[in-house]
Structure 1
Amino acid sequence: MNQWLFLSVAIISEVVATSALKASDGFTQLWPSLVVIAGYIMAFFFLSLTLRTMPVGVAYAIWSGVGIVLVTLIAWYIFGQSLDIPAVIGLTLIVTGVVVLQVFSKSSTH
């Protein structure tokens, strides 16, 4: 069960770090830059803990899929990025893919 906690922390850390990239302004702003660095260090550390018990392909698919959706939603909500119908459809397909992987695939077990 720890694998899901570790993966969740990895995803949240990566999303925070990626979202702070814009505020770092090309690493010219100190505090947002430190958030980016700390976030990515935490993300990869907790992803590495996840990989002790979860296959790398499955963990990475979930990590990247959920991360893409969350970063896109943050970009829409905080930075005013527009989302058109094709973007929403694409995000829906990503979420569907992660659900199919978890619910129907035997690859998600070791």
Structure 2
Amino acid sequence: MSSVRAYHWVCLVGAIAFEVAGTTIMKAAQSWEMLYGPQLGIVLMLVLIGLSYYLLSLATTALPVGVAFAFWEGLGLLFITLSSVLLLGEEMTLKRFVALCAVAGGVLLVHHGTSSGDAGDGTAVNSGRC
């Protein structure tokens, strides 16, 4: 994997982390309203989600859009659900667990079923650069 593609995977991981943090804060901020007012949670959520979209846009300059979006949405959903169970006290049911496993499997299937952009002879079909 080239350093350019590694950079784009790091951007994607960052996008997922900011999405999870922003969405978790959206829910947690409801209990902050009495202490800090409703604006703090909204502002933090908007900043984190905005950073998530920015990093996702950087990731898609070299990664296939379908793969990047599947990872961002699928792993985001997985980690948001885990954070809601571990940090916010929501319940993990068997049905929820099975659904999360299906989402994780779907992400892997999209990734492994998508061409990396290589033509097979070492030359890139589309480098993703402007």
Contact 1:19-1:71 at 8 Å conserved across structures: yes
**Are residues 108 and 16 of structure 1, via their aligned partners in 2, closer, same or farther at CA, if it must alter by over 3 Å?**
farther
2:94 counterpart residue number = 85
Report the CA distance shift for 1:80/1:39 in structure 2 as closer, same or farther (over 3 A): same
Correspondence for 2:80: 71
**After the TM superposition, which parts of structure 1 deviate over 4 Å for at least 4 consecutive aligned residues?**
none
* 1:109 correspondence with 2:116: yes
Identity rate, percent: 26
- CA displacement at 1:38 relative to structure 2: 0.9
- 1:38 matched residue in structure 2: 47
TM-score by length of 2: 0.76
Q: Does 1:47 align with 2:43?
A: no
Instruction: State the one-letter code of the partner of 1:12.
Output: A
- TM (norm. structure 1) is 0.88
Task: Specify every segment of 5 or more residues in structure 2 that has no aligned partner in the other structure, as ranges.
Answer: 1-5, 118-130
User: Is 1:9 aligned with 2:14?
Assistant: yes
Equivalenced residues, count: 107
Q: What residue is the counterpart of 1:20 in the other structure?
A: 25
SS state at 2:91 partner = coil
Structure of larger gyration radius: 2
